[in-house]
């Protein structure tokens, strides 16, 4: 059940240039959130910028009743967010959206993250690893400074492969090149990242006939399905229709997305 | 002091308090029911509904501007038959009046939608959108010509027995001319304002940001324009007014009431604060108590000084 709360920021730090990890307390949110869901955060105290900003739930700690967000400063809203101090209150709505459908027991899983797209995937990875599924993680980014949460992922004891555009860490080139080589025996793929990357992952998945879930991004208004601002084109038997990323997604079946 | 009276009547729609929702910002109701008790509202105004389903415009459909947003949703909706089948049963479970916002490409479309909704039951009134800047045909074209506005109003009135509130566009030279024309044609109330036509350009790509180039401006940025429109229309016609445009707080709502609105609708503010409507109802009540006003209706148009 989604809530509106003024949550206390417990910790907040820069983890790499322009990337922040923020933790706030919210016991019910931590208890009910599922991987792939997001919160809608009010970053400004004034009417400018006016709207909330959607941020994925990066992880939760049910024992401590805390929720983590991993975000990139992309503009004015996230800039204002980045100066919140521990102890301050954060106006959040959530959990929102549908979240990922977890794999069946025994399924071999590939998780493909691009840049900040790793944000919602860590929570998923932790649950999938805990469930005992075999997991391969592929993380790509522009450079090593944009590779996020790598140590946390390694801490889960899962296999991880890295790729960077500039070759500063791991494979030099798109992460999908690594994925293409590692698809053997994979039963299910999860991905989040730049649209071009997700489209390429969807293409590979189609070729190998592997069910794939993608987490999409669109500009949002309400975040609860009421305004129809955040739509994406989804294929239907008769053609296509617009679905709401906030309420029908953000997670969609990759083969249903009408990629541009 | 006893509890002041908050109840108002908009052209035959009884509201327990003057606060409703602005069409298109509140879905069909259930979307916000996790944050507020819908039955505490004065009324619910739901998403614009057309005869046939509409896909809506290309994305991006929303962009922020200083203290406001531009939207170009393009009246995406599942069509009147779907609304009747899937949402009217929900409307019937509510204890507050539901007003359905309707739109069309032609006068006949408006009349057909009105007739179907009238027959469906569970609906307290119709809000006729002749002011949507986001559709190519119809929409604002009807709202900017007094004769066309009157024609749509008359057609809806004769197609439906329900109270009919006509929603006016601020994108006109003289809003009172349109208000007078629809009043003459039999409207039971007026809603104003719809969004202001605007646009924004991305200086990096050097292209318009919205998928459909232009959009409608709403939010705090439009409030002074809306208060002015309510003031002018209140002076020009006798019909009850639902005022809207940038209302986020009880103070904003009171400004509209003093300008001449009998009720107010909350739109964009719901996105920022999903409990905005509840805060506004409580704030209006507190203002009445603090100022010794027994009935909110005493404040309607009070800024005109008569
Ligand atoms: C479901 C969902 C989950 C998300 N999770 C995370 C997360 O976990 N971590 C994270 O860092 N970010 C996440 N994002 C992205 C985040 O919401 C945006 O980066 C943020 O809203 C930008 O706000 P801003 O005010 O800082 O930037 P703005 O000033 O609003 O924008 C910065 C630049 O990006 C453009 N822009 C803004 N929004 C979009 C958009 N949706 N699509 C394309 N261009 C856009 C603007 O035009 C501008 O050029 C998520 C988005 C969605 C929809
Ligand atoms: C996302 C969005 C969708 C809207 N859809 C409709 C609609 O379907 N029909 C209509 O008459 N007005 C529509 N409007 C206009 C609002 O009902 C309202 O008139 C306007 O936004 C001004 O109020 P506000 O500043 O409080 O939002 C829409 C506005 C927004 C922001
Ligand atoms: S943001 Fe309003 S419907 Fe998705």
Residue B122 burial class via C-beta count within 10 angstroms: exposed 0-12, middle 13-18, buried 19 and up: middle
Residue whose structure tokens are 């707080």: B249
pLDDT tens for B78-134 read 999 999 999 999 999 999 999 999 999 889 999 999 999 999 999 999 999 997 665
pLDDT tens for A200-245 read 999 999 999 999 999 999 999 999 999 999 999 999 888 888 999 9
pLDDT band at A18 (very low <50, low <70, confident <90, very high): very high
CA B241 – CA B263 distance, rounded (Å): 7
A76-90: b (≥16 Cβ within 10 Å) or e: ebbebbbebeeeeeb
Residue nearest to atom 11 of ligand 2 (CA): B129
Residue A185 CB: number of other CB atoms within 10 A? 9
Three-point CA angle B70, A221, A23, nearest 5°: 135
Residue whose structure tokens are 């006949």: B108
In the three-class reduction of DSSP (H, G, I as helix; E, B as strand; rest coil), residue B190 is classed as: strand
Q: Of the residues A49, A54, A214, A227, which should be mutated to test ligand 1's pocket, given the most ligand atoms within 8 Å of the CB?
A: A54
Q: Cβ contacts (< 8 Å) between B272 and chain A: which residues?
A: 42, 50-52
Contact A39, A69 (CB under 8 A): yes
CB–CB contact B274 A224 (8 Å): yes
Please work out whether the CB of residue A242 comes within 6 Å of at least one atom of ligand 3: no
CA A27 – CA A66 distance, rounded (Å): 6
Query: Of the candidates B233, B242, B94, B259, which has an alpha carbon nearest to the alpha carbon of residue B177?
Result: B233
Residue A222 CA, closest ligand 3 atom number: 2
Residue A75 CB: number of other CB atoms within 10 A? 12
Contact A96, A41 (CB under 8 A): no
* pLDDT, average across residues B203-214: 95
Contact B287, B254 (CB under 8 A): yes
DSSP assignment string, B83-135: HHHHTHHHHHH-SS-EEEEE--SSHHHHHHHHHHHHHH-S--EEEEE---TT-
pLDDT tens for B267-286 read 999 999 999 999 999 999 99
Percent of chain A with pLDDT over 90: 95
CA A7 – CA A4 distance, rounded (Å): 9
**Half-sphere exposure in the Cβ direction for B100 (13 Å, CA):** 30
Residue B102 burial class via C-beta count within 10 angstroms: exposed 0-12, middle 13-18, buried 19 and up: buried
Using a cut of 0.90, tell me whether the model's pTM lies above it: yes
Residue B137 burial class via C-beta count within 10 angstroms: exposed 0-12, middle 13-18, buried 19 and up: exposed
pLDDT tens for A29-78 read 999 999 999 999 999 999 999 999 999 999 999 999 999 999 999 999 99
B8-304 fold: TIM Barrel (3.20.20)
pLDDT band at B1 (very low <50, low <70, confident <90, very high): low
pLDDT at B143 over 90: no
pLDDT of residue B2: 78
Ligand found nearest the CA of B134: 2
Residue B197 burial class via C-beta count within 10 angstroms: exposed 0-12, middle 13-18, buried 19 and up: middle
Query: Of the candidates A90, A29, A87, which has an alpha carbon nearest to the alpha carbon of residue A58?
Result: A29
Nearest-by-Cβ selection for B67 from A47, A223, A227: A47
The β-bridge relationship of strands A159-164 and A171-172 is parallel
Measured in Å, residue A242 CA sits from the centre of ligand 2 at: 19
Q: Six-digit token pair at B280? A: 């506004």
pLDDT at A247 over 80: yes
pLDDT of residue B7: 98
* φ, ψ at B77 (rounded to 5°): -165, 160
* pLDDT, average across residues A78-94: 97
pLDDT of residue A2: 86
CB–CB contact A229 B35 (8 Å): no
Measured in Å, residue A223 CA sits from the centre of ligand 3 at: 5
Interface-testing mutation among A1, A224, A240, A249, with chain B (most B C-beta atoms within 10 A): A224
Nearest-by-Cβ selection for A47 from B26, B32, B220: B220
Contact A173, A148 (CB under 8 A): no
pLDDT band at B139 (very low <50, low <70, confident <90, very high): low
Contact B61, B71 (CB under 8 A): yes
Residue A221 CA, closest ligand 3 atom number: 1
Interface-testing mutation among B24, B26, B27, with chain A (most A C-beta atoms within 10 A): B27
pLDDT of residue A240: 86
* pLDDT, average across residues A5-20: 96
**Half-sphere exposure in the Cβ direction for B158 (13 Å, CA):** 8
**What integer best gives the mean pLDDT of chain A?**
96
CB–CB contact B25 A227 (8 Å): yes
CA A53 – CA A219 distance, rounded (Å): 9
pLDDT of residue B142: 82
pLDDT of residue A260: 81
CA B11 – CA B161 distance, rounded (Å): 12
pLDDT tens for B159-199 read 999 999 999 999 999 999 999 999 999 999 999 999 999 99
Q: Which residue of A has its CA nearest to B247?
A: A47
pLDDT tens for A114-124 read 999 999 999 99
Percent of chain A with pLDDT over 70: 100
A38-73: b (≥16 Cβ within 10 Å) or e: bbbbbbbeebebbbbbbbbbbbbeeeebbbbbbbbb
Q: Six-digit token pair at B146? A: 């007094």
Q: Six-digit token pair at B43? A: 């009324």
pLDDT at B217 over 60: yes
Ligand 1 surroundings by CB, under 6 angstroms: A 38, 49, 53-56, 70-72, 74-78, 116, 119, 217-220, 245, 250
pLDDT band at B136 (very low <50, low <70, confident <90, very high): low
Catalytic residues of B: 132
Q: Predicted ipTM?
A: 0.94
pLDDT of residue B140: 64
CA B115 – CA B128 distance, rounded (Å): 13
Nearest-by-Cβ selection for A228 from B76, B220, B274: B76
User: Which residues of A have a CB under 8 Å from any CB of B?
Assistant: 1-4, 42, 47-52, 93, 218-232, 241-242, 247
Interface-testing mutation among B61, B195, B222, B275, with chain A (most A C-beta atoms within 10 A): B61
Nearest-by-Cβ selection for B271 from A2, A52, A242: A52
* φ, ψ at A61 (rounded to 5°): -125, 105
pLDDT of residue B280: 98
Q: Six-digit token pair at B183? A: 């009043």
Q: What is the DSSP letter of A84?
A: P
Q: Which residue of B has its CA nearest to A243?
A: B55
Three-point CA angle A104, A110, A114, nearest 5°: 135
Measured in Å, residue A144 CA sits from the centre of ligand 1 at: 22
């Amino acid at each position: 059940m989604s809530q509106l709360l003024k949550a206390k920021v417990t910790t907040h730090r820069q983890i790499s240039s322009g990337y922040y990890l923020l933790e706030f307390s919210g016991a019910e949110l931590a208890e009910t959130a599922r991987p792939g869901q997001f919160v809608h955060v009010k970053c400004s105290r004034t009417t400018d910028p006016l709207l909330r900003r959607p941020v994925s739930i990066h992880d939760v700690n049910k024992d401590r009743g805390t929720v983590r967000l991993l975000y990139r400063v992309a503009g004015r809203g996230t800039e204002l967010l980045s100066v919140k101090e521990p102890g301050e209150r954060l106006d959040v709505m959530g959990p929102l959206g549908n979240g990922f459908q977890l794999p069946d027991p025994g399924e071999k899983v590939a998780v493909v993250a691009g840049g900040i797209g790793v944000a919602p995937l860590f929570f998923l990875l932790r649950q999938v690893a805990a469930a005992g599924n075999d997991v391969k993680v592929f993380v790509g980014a522009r450079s090593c400074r944009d590779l996020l949460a790598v140590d946390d992922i390694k801490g889960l004891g899962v296999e991880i492969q890295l790729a960077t555009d500039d070759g500063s860490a791991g494979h030099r080139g798109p992460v999908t090149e690594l994925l293409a080589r590692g698809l053997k025996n994979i039963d299910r793929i999860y991905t989040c990242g730049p649209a071009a990357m997700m489209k390429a992952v969807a293409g590979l998945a189609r070729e190998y006939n592997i069910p794939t879930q993608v987490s999409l991004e669109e500009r949002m208004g309400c975040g609860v399905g009421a305004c129809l601002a955040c739509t994406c084109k989804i294929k239907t038997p008769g053609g296509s229709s617009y679905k709401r990323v906030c309420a029908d997604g953000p997670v969609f079946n990759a083969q249903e997305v009408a990629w541009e | 002091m006893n509890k002041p009276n908050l109840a108002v009547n908009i052209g035959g729609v009884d509201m327990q308090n003057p606060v409703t929702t602005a069409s298109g910002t509140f879905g069909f109701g259930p979307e916000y029911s996790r944050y507020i008790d819908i039955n505490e509202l004065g009324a619910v105004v739901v998403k614009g509904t057309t005869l046939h389903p509409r896909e809506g415009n290309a994305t991006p459909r929303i962009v922020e501007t200083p203290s406001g947003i531009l939207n170009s949703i393009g009246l995406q909706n599942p069509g009147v038959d779907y609304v009747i089948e899937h949402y009217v049963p929900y409307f019937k479970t509510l204890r507050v009046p539901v007003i359905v916002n309707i739109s069309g490409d032609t006068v006949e479309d408006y009349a057909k939608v009105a007739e179907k909704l009238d027959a469906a039951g569970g609906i307290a009134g119709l809000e006729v959108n002749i002011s949507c800047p986001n559709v190519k045909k119809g929409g604002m074209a009807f709202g900017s010509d007094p004769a066309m506005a009157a024609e749509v109003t008359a057609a809806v009135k004769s197609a439906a027995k329900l109270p009919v509130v006509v929603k006016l566009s601020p994108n006109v030279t003289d809003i009172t001319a349109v208000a007078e024309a629809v009043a003459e044609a039999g409207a039971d109330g007026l809603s104003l304002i719809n969004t202001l036509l605007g646009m924004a350009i991305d200086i990096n790509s050097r292209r318009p940001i919205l998928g459909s180039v232009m959009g409608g401006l709403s939010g705090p940025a439009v409030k002074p324009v809306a208060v002015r429109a309510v003031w002018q229309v209140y002076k020009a016609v006798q019909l009850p007014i639902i005022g809207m445009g940038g209302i986020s707080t009880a103070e904003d709502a009171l400004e509209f009431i003093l300008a001449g609105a009998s009720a107010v609708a909350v739109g964009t503010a719901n996105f920022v604060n999903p409990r905005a409507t509840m805060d506004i109802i409580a704030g209006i009540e507190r203002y009445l108590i603090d100022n010794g006003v027994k009935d909110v209706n005493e404040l309607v148009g009070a800024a005109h000084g008569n």
